């Protein structure tokens, strides 16, 4: 069979099994695989265990060899040889929330769409790639490489599934995670959390407490601070409050204690300029209201929270992925009278996290009062040059199947691809599908079939490329 004939035969098999793909996708979507309390052999709850069991059952019935990693994740494999091609999909979903028109786990078909939590992120794409793997197995038998389909159960809340995989299992020669934009994401920015502490500001304005935010990667949408105001400065402070232009701040007095409450707008931490940080509003007011002797200190506190990283000495960009972003995700007061700021930084793909950490520590030494880095966590960037064989193959297949000439992208978010070597995230869905994580998530049935067709073509080509890389 010629190379082009192999692709055509794989795609013909997928077309012949459209009804099966739709049936199985709906069955998977009907499992409410939300993270729940751990059970024996089900670290993310029974529903995730049920979804994984069903996936492995289908793979067993297809003649693949299956492995269950204590319920963290599982994988199915066929083929032989030193090279291995991998797909990484996830079966867990985010919470549902109110306002659905359709039953969130009903997998109802309406107007040519399947409605369900997980339809676009990520059960629909995972099922499409699984059927592509089944097609390659049915048509080519042993393609001369091992084809491994990994099914994770904790992508939405921690990546513990792929962390468990990497403890004992083999990395692929090349692999893809169907969970991003077309044709692929060749760069995912580094993600670092900087937990910075300092003594509470003292003076005519003494910060007693400040609390806001729940997670580092979400813009703070509400925040509350309590300050002790020196009686000699109270009249001046009341003047600043009366003249305050910020209508998102409210003020109340209890003796000489001033409570400031701020309202902002939440957004993803990789896109801090898409939100409105309530804590930064409070810092800005305190800076504007500061007496001369505290002006430098409170100005630096406000600057530390700059969304471009300017205040901690790491502003910058690269050509491949653009500018660094810095999100103040949590602010709180510790029991020993310290102010703690958690900054979630998405840094360019060609940068190094350890060098970034050193720059932050050096910058903190120059600030007034005393700042220090209490904790640092780093997830290294993912970056594949545009001429990498995997990236080139994905782009060629996408162009052949859609007629579109579209460049790979980069992003500040993270997928499974950053957790497993030699992988990139690839496209899923088209206009009308999704929106992921929102109400009435959906996938157009024709798009499900179209994805499977593209994935089938891609998998054939990936098998050929992988043979040349070992």
DSSP for 252-264, written as a single string: EEETTEEEEEEE-
Which residue's structure tokens are 């169907």?
178
In the numeric block, which tokens belong to residue 147? Answer: 């084809």
Q: Are residues 165 and 32 in the same domain?
A: yes
Say whether both 296 and 366 belong to one domain. yes
Q: Residues 20, 58: one domain?
A: yes
Distance CA(425)–CA(15), nearest Å, equals: 24
95: burial class by Cβ within 10 Å (0-12, 13-18, 19+)? Answer: exposed
**How far does Cα 16 stand from its chain's mean position?**
35
Domain end position, chosen among 328, 358, 379: 379
Number of domains in the chain: 2
29, 178: one domain:
yes
- Do 116 and 229 fall into the same domain? no
Render each residue's pLDDT in the chain as its tens digit; 470 residues: 666 999 999 999 999 999 999 999 999 999 999 999 999 999 999 999 999 999 999 999 999 999 999 999 999 999 999 999 999 999 999 888 889 999 999 999 999 999 999 999 999 999 999 999 999 999 999 999 999 999 999 998 889 999 999 999 999 999 999 999 999 999 999 999 999 999 999 999 999 999 999 888 889 999 999 999 999 999 999 999 999 999 999 999 999 999 999 999 988 888 899 899 999 999 999 999 999 999 999 999 999 999 999 999 999 999 999 999 999 999 999 989 999 999 999 999 999 999 999 999 999 999 988 999 999 999 899 999 999 999 999 999 999 999 999 999 999 888 999 999 999 999 999 999 988 888 999 999 999 999 999 999 999 999 999 999 99
Phi, psi of 453 (to 5 degrees): -65, -45
- Asked if residues 91 and 28 have their Cβ atoms less than 8 Å apart, the reply is yes
Kindly state the helix (H) or strand (E) to which residue 65 belongs, with its residue range.
strand 65-69
Cβ proximity of 304 and 298 under 8 Å = no
Same domain, 177 and 197: no
Verify that 38 and 149 share a domain, yes or no: yes
**Which CATH number fits the domain that encloses residue 371?**
3.30.70.360
> Which CATH number belongs to the domain containing residue 425 in this structure?
3.40.630.10
In terms of domains, do 324 and 423 share one?
no
Active site residue ranges? 92, 155
Q: Other CB atoms closer than 10 Å to residue 390's CB: what's the count?
A: 24
Q: Are residues 125 and 197 in the same domain?
A: no
Tell me the longest C-alpha to C-alpha distance in the chain.
Answer: 90
Q: Which domain holds residue 412?
A: 3-188+382-467
Same domain, 276 and 344: yes
Do 141 and 201 share a domain, yes or no? no
Give the Cα separation of 193 and 345 in Å (integer).
6
Domain co-membership, 276 together with 392 = no
Rounded CA-CA distance 372/396 in Å is 49
**Predicted local confidence at residue 1, as pLDDT:** 64
pLDDT at 203: 97
Dump the DSSP string for 385-448. Answer: -TTSHHHHHHHHHHHHHH------EEESS--GGGTSTTEEEEE---TTSB-TTSTT-EEEHHHH
Domain boundary among 352, 379, 406: 379
> End of a domain among 379, 408, 442?
379
């Amino acid at each position: 069979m010629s190379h082009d004939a192999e692709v055509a035969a794989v795609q013909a098999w997928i077309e012949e099994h459209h009804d099966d793909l739709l049936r199985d996708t709906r069955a998977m979507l009907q499992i409410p695989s939300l993270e729940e309390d751990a059970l024996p052999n089900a670290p993310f709850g029974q529903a995730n265990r049920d979804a994984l069991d069903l996936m492995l059952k289908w793979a067993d019935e297809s003649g693949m060899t299956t492995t269950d990693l204590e319920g963290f994740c599982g994988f199915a494999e066929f083929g032989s040889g030193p090279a291995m091609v991998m797909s990484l999909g996830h079966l867990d979903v985010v919470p549902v929330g109110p306002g659905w028109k359709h039953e969130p786990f009903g997998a109802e078909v309406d107007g040519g769409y399947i409605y369900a939590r997980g339809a676009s992120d990520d059960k629909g794409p995972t099922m499409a790639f699984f059927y592509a793997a089944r097609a390659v197995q049915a048509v080519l038998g042993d393609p001369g490489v091992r084809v491994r389909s990994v099914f994770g159960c904790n992508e939405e809340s921690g990546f513990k599934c792929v962390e468990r995989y990497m403890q004992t299992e083999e990395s692929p020669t090349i692999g893809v995670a169907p969970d991003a934009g077309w044709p692929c994401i060749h760069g995912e920015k580094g993600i670092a959390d900087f937990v910075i502490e300092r003594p509470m500001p003292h003076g005519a304005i003494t910060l007693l407490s400040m609390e806001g935010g729940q997670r580092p990667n979400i813009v703070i949408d509400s925040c509350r601070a309590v300050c002790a105001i020196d009686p000699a400065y109270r009249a001046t402070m009341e003047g600043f409050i009366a003249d305050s232009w910020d209508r998102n701040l409210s003020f109340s007095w209890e003796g000489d204690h001033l409570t400031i409450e701020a309202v902002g707008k939440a957004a993803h931490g990789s896109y801090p300029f898409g939100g409105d940080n309530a804590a930064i509003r409070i810092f800005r007011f305190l800076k504007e209201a500061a007496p001369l002797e505290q002006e430098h200190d409170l100005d630096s506190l406000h600057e530390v929270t700059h969304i471009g990283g300017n205040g901690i000495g790491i502003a910058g960009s690269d050509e491949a992925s653009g500018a660094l972003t810095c999100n103040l995700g949590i602010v709180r007061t510790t029991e020993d009278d310290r102010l703690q700021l958690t900054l979630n930084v998405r840094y360019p793909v060609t940068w190094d996290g350890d060098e970034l950490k050193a720059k932050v520590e050096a910058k903190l030494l120059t600030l007034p009062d005393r700042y220090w880095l209490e904790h640092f966590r780093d997830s290294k960037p993912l970056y594949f040059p545009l001429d990498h064989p995997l990236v080139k193959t994905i782009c060629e297949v996408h162009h052949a199947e859609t007629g579109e000439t579209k460049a790979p992208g980069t992003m500040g978010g993270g997928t499974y691809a950053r957790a497993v070597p030699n992988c990139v995230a690839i496209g899923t869905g088209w206009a009308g599908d999704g929106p992921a994580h929102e109400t009435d998530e959906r996938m157009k049935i024709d798009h499900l079939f179209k994805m499977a067709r593209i994935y089938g073509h891609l998998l054939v080509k990936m098998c050929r490329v992988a043979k040349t890389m070992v």
